[in-house]
Amino acid sequence: MKYLLDTNVVSDARKQNRPGLNAWISAQPRADLAISVVVLLEIERGILRVERRDPAAGEHLRAWLMSQVKPAFAGSILTIDDQVARSAAQLHVPDPMPEMDALIAATALVHDLTLVTRNTKDFQHAGVSLLDTGTL
């Protein structure tokens, strides 16, 4: 693995409105791409919110998660272990950062991966290698 995809990258790829991003993802060997279990949490949380206000749209998003995201990253969904937890905790000192961002950044750091995100400013002080999808 070389790259850890942030939640916004997985979401943007689904929307198919960022041709450069989709081309970049397609050009990467599947074995080079991973996601954090935190990405699944954030996607699931978003689907649950959509389901409350628009059940049909929520069903569509859930089908995408189950039939595309999970199979595409089978074997490449990185979990939170002791090392990731410790690294995430260290990212809060001296300045706290949002928990989910800290866990995603820590996952990239522990596994020596480049974090692919549209929100580079959220991670700029984490010491993680970043690839800004805005440049693709």
Residue 70 neighbours by CB distance under 10 Å: 14
113: number of CA atoms within 13 Å, CB side?
25
DSSP letter at 113 equals: -
- State whether residue 126 is helix, strand or coil: coil
Residue 105 CB contacts under 8 Å (≥ 6 apart), including other chains = 88, 91, 97, 115, 123, 126, 128
What is the C-alpha separation between 66 and 107, in angstroms, rounded? 23
Q: Is 81 annotated as a binding residue?
A: no
What is the C-alpha separation between 129 and 136, in angstroms, rounded? 16
Q: Is 101 annotated as a binding residue?
A: yes
Binding-site entries:
6, 101
Binding-site entries for Mg(2+):
6, 101
